[in-house]
């Protein structure tokens, strides 16, 4: 369908090696690094600030 047919790719060992190398390179470039996918961790002071803000909202007089 797309690209060369499988029979023409494997006519020689070198073509097979280039094809396999290109597939491995594509996979290597497609997978994101672990640092890119990890969610940032909130610090304890950030969590305390959020908790204080929520307490202030709960204690505020309602209309």
> pLDDT tens across 3-52, in order?
777 777 677 888 888 889 999 999 999 987 776 655 666 678 888 888 88
Q: Are 52 and 45 in contact (CB under 8 A)?
A: no
H or E stretch covering 62: none
- Asked if the structure places residue 11 within a domain, the reply is yes
The answer to whether residue 22 sits within a structural domain is yes
Range of the domain at 6: 1-33
Total domain count, the chain: 1
CA angle 11, 15, 17 (to 5 degrees): 125
Instruction: Give the global pTM.
Output: 0.43
Domain contains 13: yes
Note whether residue 8 is domain-resident.
Answer: yes
């Amino acid at each position: 369908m797309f690209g060369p047919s499988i029979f023409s790719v494997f006519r020689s060992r070198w073509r097979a090696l280039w094809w396999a190398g290109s597939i491995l390179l594509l996979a290597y470039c497609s997978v994101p690094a672990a640092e890119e996918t990890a969610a940032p961790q909130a610090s304890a002071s950030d969590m305390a600030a959020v908790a204080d803000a929520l307490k202030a909202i709960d204690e505020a007089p309602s209309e």
